[in-house]
Amino acid sequence: MSQQRHREDEDRFTFDDLSVVMGTYNEEEAIGTVLADVDDVTGGRAEVVCVDGSDDRTPEIARDHGARVIEQEPQGYGVAVREALLAAENPVIVTTDCDDTYPMERLPDFLDRINEGYDVVSGDRLYYGAETMPAFNRFGNHAFAALSSLLMGDRVHDTTTGMRAYRRELIEKIEWTENTGLSAELLIRPLMREYDVCEIPIEYGERAGETKLDPISGGYAIAKSIVTVCLEERFR
């Protein structure tokens, strides 16, 4: 992990400077809970952006909770999240999933680390064991972290977490290319370009609703993305 550089004379960010973004696809069971948690933690001050391709009530529920919903045809995880990141209007952006697995009560901790000077703050789901995660997925995520660490020469513990905070200026400077493997790319490119990145341990909850990612084909796509992105950054 890179070490943070202190930024002199920089105003501290508050929840008014925060955008929480996610891609949503048929998550009507959980989206209301997630957005209510964001609202409770931030006092309703954070912008929320959902890029949605659902055919259930997800976009309706999101709008009822005050989220800005951008509707698009389903094109995969990365396409939706990339659109959400680029649509965010505030200087600090936090990604999360809409299945109620990530702890929105930790948003203040992510914002604090950004205020300490970090460009990316990444939530490490595996630190506490992630017992609610299926065993095969947990093994895969450890393997992705090991592969990324080997190829980068920089130790990371959870390459594919969906909860991270970013400075908007970083998001706008880098061309993001991956789809299924976007979560890994969003960590690897900043690290290999020597941005200030840290990981913080987070709890990982039990998923509400059915998963959309096939663990075999999805795992292969993520591993391929890790190799592709690491090699691109190594030789850029």
For the chain, the domain total comes to: 1
Examine the pLDDT at 232 and tell me if it is beyond 90. Answer: yes
Residue 140 is part of which domain span?
15-234
The answer to whether position 33 is within a domain reads: yes
Confidence band of 11 (pLDDT split at 50, 70, 90): confident
pLDDT at 8: 47
pLDDT tens digits for range 105-142: 999 999 999 999 999 999 999 999 999 999 999 999 99
> Band of the pLDDT at 207, cuts 50, 70, 90?
confident
In the chain, % of residues over pLDDT 90: 90
Specify the pLDDT at position 221.
95
6 in any annotated domain: no
- Could you read off the pLDDT of 53-89 as tens digits, one per residue? 999 999 999 999 999 999 999 999 999 999 999 999 9
Residue 52 domain-assigned (yes or no): yes
In a domain, 195, yes or no: yes
In a domain, 76, yes or no: yes
pLDDT at 3 over 70: no
- Check whether 5 has a pLDDT greater than 60: no
Q: Does residue 5 fall inside a structural domain?
A: no
Secondary structure string (H, E, C) spanning the chain: CCCCCCCCCCCCCCHHHEEEEEEECCCCCCHHHHHHHHHHHHCCCCEEEEEECCCCCHHHHHHHCCCEEEECCCCCHHHHHHHHHHHCCCCEEEECCCCCCCCHHHHHHHHHHHHCCCCEEEEECCCCCCCCCCHHHHHHHHHHHHHHHHHHCCCCCCCCCCCEEEEHHHHHHCCCCCCCCHHHHHHHHHHHCCCCEEEEECCCCCCCCCCCCCHHHHHHHHHHHHHHHHHHHHCC
In a domain, 128, yes or no: yes
In this prediction, residue 214 carries a pLDDT of 82
Q: Is residue 1 part of a domain?
A: no
CATH number at 161 reads 3.90.550.10
Q: What local confidence, expressed as pLDDT, does residue 211 receive?
A: 66
Phi, psi of 177 (to 5 degrees): -115, -20
Provide the pLDDT for residue 208: 76
pLDDT band at 99 (very low <50, low <70, confident <90, very high): very high
